[in-house]
Amino acid sequence: MVELKVTNRGVCVPGFMAAGVKRGKYGVALIRSEAPAKASVMLTSNKVKAAPLLVSKEHVNNDIFGIIANSGNANAFTGDAGMEDAREMCSLAAKLLGGKAENYLVASTGVIGRRLDLATVERLANEAARSLETSPKASEAAARAIMTTDTFPKICSVEVELSDGSRYEVGGIAKGAGMIAPKLSHATMLCFLTTNARLEKEEMDEALAKAVEQSFNRVVVDGDTSTNDFVVLLANGSAANDSIEGFQEALNFVTQTLAKSIARDGEGATKYIEVRVLGAVSDSDANLAARAVVGSNLVKSAVFGGDPNWGRIIAALGYSGAEVVPEKITLYVGTKGDERRVCLVEKGKPLALEGTAELKAAEEVLRQKEIYITAELNLGRGRGEAYGCDLTYEYIRINAEYTT
């Protein structure tokens, strides 16, 4: 284990610059590496993939100088014209930041099926390029530029000190509040990660896959998998480290912090929900069960209403696909750190029934802003987690009016 020092640089770790501008519904973010970087990407599993993802996939094995991203339009389901627009965004980045179009990755988020307003993107990109710098402020500006229904920017970075005294950093920004149920393969959610660590491409791909599985793939806001979900890791090697000790741990920390921020900022959300499943036959079973519970609209609605309707949690465990024996389930609901924890069901026996102290205590827990549900399946040693939020009237309003 290495010690991680949390910093506030986001994507602006040493060797990287950023900028962002938001005007009305459109925003543009730029990220620039001071040296050619290697890239690793993970794309949505949705069979309808947005044009920017397809273009970025074409470029990923090149030397990457940076990323250009826009909010306000997803450039998804836009056919050949959309592909041309995505490539034009890469050309624009090259014109502003140097290199060639194929040295850039591109991402978009917003309304599906509408043609991108390239004139607006170009105007905002030109404005952003003039403020490109290495600073926490620049990283935050980039994070804000890609927000859509988000209410706050998602930023995280950590520094790793190696045993020989050398250091490297890992940082990132993300956006996402609705259309969140990422299933990234090889989440609308965007995440841009940077590191000055020296890594081989194979090491990056393996580390990113592991990090995404324990972070973004465990978030469920509304059960919808976007056409634009995209995670990028850039590594420019400027730290010249001889070891990648601690890199997986650092990347896991950054991605999990950003993932939990997305869950907390779910569209219209008033409460954060974290589900932990213990004692499953395997870790994969535990994660399957946890995701089913946190993704249940009935569980989400009950949490919003402060109703400790534990039967909905039991039902979600039962249909999750995980191995479950009803008589062995123990179920708790609590607050952060389990400072308040109430047993609702003990080895198949319901405790939180009408008129009981357990039900009253559970009602008090569900009045809090952060709710932690723990299910012990008592079948093995598998452990898993998932992150989400409640389902509110405001979520319906936001999505009913999204294009109007």
pLDDT tens series, the chain, 404 aa:
678 999 989 999 999 999 999 999 999 999 999 999 999 999 987 888 999 999 999 999 999 999 999 999 999 999 999 999 999 999 999 999 999 999 999 999 998 999 999 999 999 999 999 999 999 999 999 999 999 888 999 999 999 999 888 899 999 999 986 544 444 443 458 999 999 999 999 999 999 999 999 999 888 875 556 788 899 999 999 998 889 999 999 999 999 999 999 999 887 889 999 999 999 999 999 999 999 999 999 999 999 999 999 999 999 999 999 999 999 999 999 998 777 899 999 999 999 999 999 999 999 999 999 999 999 999 999 999 999 999 988 888 877 876 65
Q: What's the CATH architecture for 272-400? A: Roll (3.10)
Residue intervals of the chain classified under CATH 3.60.70.12 are 4-264
* Residue in this structure with the two tokens 């978030």, named with its chain if needed: 219
- The whole model's pTM is what? 0.91
Catalytic residues: 188
Residues with Cβ within 8 Å of 54's Cβ and at least 6 positions away in sequence, in order, are: 83, 86
How many Cβ atoms sit within 10 Å of the Cβ of residue 62?
17
**Coil, helix or strand at residue 269:** coil
Residue intervals of the chain classified under CATH 3.10.20.340 are 272-400
Q: Which CA distances in Å does 51 have to 44, 75, 78?
A: 12, 6, 7
d(CA 162, CA 97): 33
* Residue in this structure with the two tokens 């290697």, named with its chain if needed: 38
Q: Which CATH number is 4-264 given?
A: 3.60.70.12
